[in-house]
Amino acid sequence: MTVFKILQYPDPRLQRKGRHVIEIDDRIREIIKNMFETHYSSENCAALAATQLDMPDPPYITVIDFSDKKNEPICLINGEITDHSGEMYEDEGCMSVRGIYEKVKRFSTVSVRALDESGKTITFTATGFMAKCIQHELDHLNGRIFIDKLSAFKRLRVDRKIQKTRA
């Protein structure tokens, strides 16, 4: 078991895009196992994307579990949003941008298609926190983090705050 280091903004590796998974082989299975290990050993973690972790050539995979008992793991491989509706504007945070919570506009309902750990195609509709979570994670896998969605003014404020806490 390995616990990955969670990359911290402004690490440029957060801009990497996940590589789509062609085959779920031993390497991919090992990465998924270790992503869950990392998730469950991190406090207040709802989900993680491979691209925010310290690994070379991260695959297009996110692991999600925000259940109270941490016993509802969801793994999405090559996840994509196939349809969406509605809007929400709620606080968001990120394991790679610690201490920052900002409101971000998201779709309130999304239809999702992905492969599960066994390579089976799954489709489902997500709303509320799950919808927000999946959009946040798929952004990660496309090299974007939630503060990229802020206005220039708010982003500047966030960057200043981060600089201050690091100084």
Binding residues (CB under 5 A) for Ni ion: these are 94
> Residue 136, by phi and psi: left (phi above 0), alpha (psi -120 to 50) or beta?
alpha
Q: How far is the CB of 90 from Ni ion (least distance, A)?
A: 14
- C-alpha 38/C-alpha 89 separation (Å) is 28
Residue type, 24: I
Q: How far is the CB of 105 from Ni ion (least distance, A)?
A: 16
User: Which residue in the block uniquely carries the two structure tokens 């983090």?
Assistant: 145
* Active-site residue (options: 92, 102, 117, 137): 137
Q: How far is the CB of 128 from Ni ion (least distance, A)?
A: 17
User: 90 catalytic, yes or no?
Assistant: no
| Cβ distance to Ni ion smaller for residue 74 or 94 | 94
Residue number with the shortest CB distance to Ni ion? 94
With beta carbons less than 8 A apart as the criterion, state whether 4 and 53 touch. yes
Residue 53 tokens, joined: 């972790």
Catalytic residue set: 137
